[in-house]
Chain A
């Protein structure tokens, strides 16, 4: 077995296990921490796929910004294990069955897929800042600008929603 295959299995194992722990752990803070572990494993996969810039961005945006936001909200709401809502057993069983059926369908659908590696894939530096920046600022200029407007709208919306109403 090659070193890259060992790395793939190790990272996949960490990602799937901590993703399961996210939904099985009762304490919301532990869930957030396990989700951060999952994100780091996915960033490792990005490095394995030679998408270095995306790996760094992924860690900065997800582990650095989004999960900190989650942690702050959990801290402000003061959530813990005691006020965690309890669910009846029948919806839980139904949830497990439907997720399992979805997974079986997707695997059965994708099992026979034959994917050939294109000759263009021999060029392994597509994930570097150089080529990524060229595509982003030439072909995807308009979506890039529109996404900044989206961010502005989200920022105004978040500030407006979380503001206390003055009577």
Chain B
């Protein structure tokens, strides 16, 4: 397990993270269901996490992995509050379609 990353250049991890992040962005723009949009935000956070772990491994610095912990903490808190808000929206509008919430639209 010691030298398992020797054959993998860090560029591959950069491209993988870019691909996952862009799929997340596409999902946020593409879908109208608020729950799917939340899931795509999680996907974007995970792409960034993956890149941070890769850099921390390639540079031999533990701080990057500690930051991943804090990103996970914030993601968990965000999901808890966000889903509670979503439940409340559903209770009022009977749907999770984000286009029904257009009161702030200019």
A-to-B contact residues, CB < 8 Å: 1-2, 4-5, 8, 12, 15-16, 19-20, 22-23, 28, 31-32, 35, 38-39, 42, 45-46, 48-51, 54, 57-58, 61-62, 65-66, 69-70, 73-74, 76-77, 79, 83-85, 87, 91-92, 94-96, 98-100, 102-103, 106-107, 110, 113, 115, 117-124, 126-127, 131-132, 135-136, 139-140, 143, 147, 150-151, 153-155, 157-159, 161-162
The answer to whether A48 touches B5, judged by C-beta atoms less than 8 angstroms apart, is yes
The answer to whether A95 touches B60, judged by C-beta atoms less than 8 angstroms apart, is no
Q: How far is B13's CA from A165's CA once the two chains are assembled, in angstroms?
A: 48
* Residues of A close to B43: CB separation below 8 A: 19, 22, 35, 38
22 inter-chain pairs at a CB distance below 8 angstroms, sorted by A residue, are A1-B7, A4-B5, A4-B7, A4-B8, A19-B24, A22-B23, A28-B36, A38-B20, A45-B54, A46-B53, A73-B83, A73-B87, A84-B33, A99-B22, A110-B15, A113-B11, A121-B57, A126-B57, A135-B63, A157-B81, A158-B80, A158-B84
The answer to whether A120 touches B61, judged by C-beta atoms less than 8 angstroms apart, is yes
Q: How far is B96's CA from A74's CA once the two chains are assembled, in angstroms?
A: 10
The answer to whether A12 touches B29, judged by C-beta atoms less than 8 angstroms apart, is no
* Residues of B close to A57: CB separation below 8 A: 69, 72
The answer to whether A19 touches B23, judged by C-beta atoms less than 8 angstroms apart, is yes
* Residues of A close to B56: CB separation below 8 A: 51, 126-127
Closest to A38 in B: B43
Q: How far is B34's CA from A84's CA once the two chains are assembled, in angstroms?
A: 11
The answer to whether B84 touches A19, judged by C-beta atoms less than 8 angstroms apart, is no
